[in-house]
A and B are shown apart, each in its own frame.
Chain A
Amino acid sequence: MARRSSRKRWLSGLRNTAAALIGLAWLVPLLWMFLSSVSNDADVYRVPPKLWPAWNWGNYARAWAARPWPRYFANTLIIALSVVAFTLVTSILAGFAFALMRFRGSKTLFYVVMSVMMVPQTVLLIPNFILAHTTGLYDTYWIQILPWAASVFGIFLLRQTLSALPTEIFEAAELDGAGPVSMLVRIAAPLAVPSLILIGLNTFMGSWSSFVWPYLMTQNDTVRPIEVGLQAFYGAEGTDWTGLSAAVTFTTLPVVILFFSLQKYFVQGAFSTQGAVQ
């Protein structure tokens, strides 16, 4: 018995060690990014590389001055928060209707919504680029907001959430003379808050991380978001590795902070996306 438990402890020690090594390996690129961002130029161009940095924070100042970062950050927030606001409204409206309301064609319309999931963004690039130019939406916030103002995932998740609610609550509300709008606002929305947070976070991250869409649909820094700005900085200063590392660090850091403060929702979000397919 004693031998068995010592074997068990040995195995779990081995497992933890293997896991820790993998975890460290996974963090190396991010650590390397940070170390390069506080290194002297000369130390970065050295073989073998010097691992301990000189804590040169000047790289941040140089990178920060090279591009209109505050503008990029503001644009990213304006776009991402607008997309989140629109998506939450369109999702709960449609999710409520599909979950709880009875209307002719509801099944067909739901299939139409679900079929949109099959359309890759890549397919939409060319037609929407032409559309953006002919409608004058090119190089505006709107072309970065409106196409993402509704989400199949959001509608699907809220439909699931709301159809799990006991119908008695709504029957009771109807007796009190509540119409569909007040049912949605007073009953459905408050009960769906966890799902709304999930959708909001997923949408926010998607918008923050998007690159090809804003890259093609805009051309001026006045409306371009952070990822496009970072790519432009890379294109222009491709050899300034310490400056680039600093820029990557300060553009990635907000996302990392958000991740650690809302970790639970990130994990649930990743997990619940599979509901959209199943």
Chain B
Amino acid sequence: MAQLLDPVATRSRSMRSGRPVKRALTSRWAYLFVLPALLVFLVFSIGPTIFAFALSLFNWNYLNAAMSKFVGLKNYVDLVKGTRDPSFWSTMWTSAQFVIPMVVGGTVISLLLALLLSGNSPVLYGVRTAVFLAHVTPFVGVSIVWVWLFNPRYGLVNAATALFGMAPRDWLGDPKTAMFAIVVFSLWHEVGFTLIIFLGGLTTLDKTLSEAAQIDRANKLQEIWYVILPQLRPYTIFVIVISTVFSLQAFTQFFVMTGGGPGFSTATLGFAVYQQAFIYRKTGYAAALAVVLFALTAVLSLLQLRASRNTGR
């Protein structure tokens, strides 16, 4: 390509007598080009984010906005003191019960799967496709399927655990197991995505390092631990950050499978924003929760940015 274009390039360079500025590409057209996208972002993302901050300072009246009362930081005070029901801290604890298993489990499982499934055999290719297919299926439909799988009387999950002599359980109806069940479903759905990231990472490995390890008679585990994992570090960081962000915002599976229940046992932060705003009509408080979600996401994104810079990527 470059060679093909070289004569042209040489000619144009000489004709512009050393001026590096291209006229057509410095025109005011540029503003016109970025305008549509910026307008969309301003109206539907940036503006509303600022509005959400503002809403969190009000006791918002959803029926008549004019009747809303400015209450300053009261919603945040309630949040820190945990005076709402459920308290903010119990919402955060519930979120942790979802986010931590999703991030740790998701990262470990997709990394192990990537190590197992990278390769050219048709079997490995087929399995990669199967795992990724689950990720592609729309959430509402497969959530319904898993409700059926977890059915206390006729579900396949209980039929399977019965083989190991376990008593049947009401997985989604019991506050002790509901979150676990949703984590299992969510891992099934999400691991395909992080698997692809790790598989991509594995293709970038420096083969000479692995060869050197083999010459030094490192076994496969040592090779993975000392040679492969350090090289995958930027990918691991990315997977951890993106799964934290996704899990914090998770919504549909909670909506379909448990409605945040039983009680509030599966009402994580992402679900609580919806629940407080649209079911309990506590718009101001819900906006404060949304601001917390925003802050967490922003901090994580910045950390990711910093980590990727430090590793030179």
By a beta-carbon cutoff of 8 Å, the part of chain A in contact with chain B is 12, 15-16, 18-20, 22-24, 26-30, 32-33, 36, 44-49, 89-91, 93-94, 96-98, 100-103, 106, 109, 112-113, 116-131, 146-147, 149-150, 155, 166-175, 178-181, 183-184, 205, 208-209, 211-212, 216, 227, 230-231, 234, 241, 244-245, 247-248, 251-252, 255-256, 259, 263, 266-267, 270-271, 274, 277-278
Contact = CB atoms under 8 A, between A and B. Distances in A.
B242 A122 contact: no
A98 B113 CA distance: 38
B255 interface: yes
Given A93-B37, A123-B293, A126-B52, A277 B29 contact: no
A47 B148 CA distance: 14
B55 A127 contact: yes
5 shortest A-B CB distances, which residue pairs? A23-B127, A127-B48, A168-B9, A147-B44, A103-B30
Contacts, number: 323
B224 interface: no
What secondary structure prevails in chain B residues at the interface with A? helix
What secondary structure prevails in chain A residues at the interface with B? helix
Interface in B117-162: 117, 121, 123-124, 126-127, 129-142, 144-146, 148-149, 153-154, 156, 159, 162
B278 interface: yes
B282 to A, nearest CB: 11
Contacts of A259: 133, 136
Given A93-B36, A175-B12, A26 B130 contact: yes
Nearest to A12: B121
Interface string B20-44: 0111111111110110111011011
29 contacts: A20-B123, A29-B134, A29-B146, A32-B145, A45-B153, A45-B154, A48-B159, A49-B154, A101-B26, A118-B301, A122-B249, A126-B277, A127-B52, A128-B44, A150-B36, A166-B9, A168-B8, A170-B24, A172-B12, A174-B24, A178-B24, A180-B25, A180-B33, A227-B138, A230-B141, A234-B140, A244-B144, A252-B141, A277-B305
Contact of A49 (B6, B30, B31, B159): B159
A29 B305 contact: no
Interface residues of B, number: 107
A12 B116 CA distance: 10
Contact of B294 (A120, A150, A174, A244): A120
B5 interface: yes
Given A29-B149, A124-B44, A150-B36, 10 more contacts: A90-B40, A96-B33, A101-B33, A119-B294, A123-B48, A178-B24, A216-B274, A227-B138, A256-B133, A274-B200
A247 to B, nearest CB: 8
A174 B142 contact: no
Given A49-B154, A118-B301, A216-B278, A278 B308 contact: yes
Contact of A251 (B55, B141, B238, B308): B141
Contacts of A234: 140, 144, 256
Contact of B188 (A29, A36, A109, A117): A29
B160 to A, nearest CB: 9
Contact of B283 (A126, A173, A211): A126
Contacts of A173: 24
Contacts of B22: 167, 170-171, 174
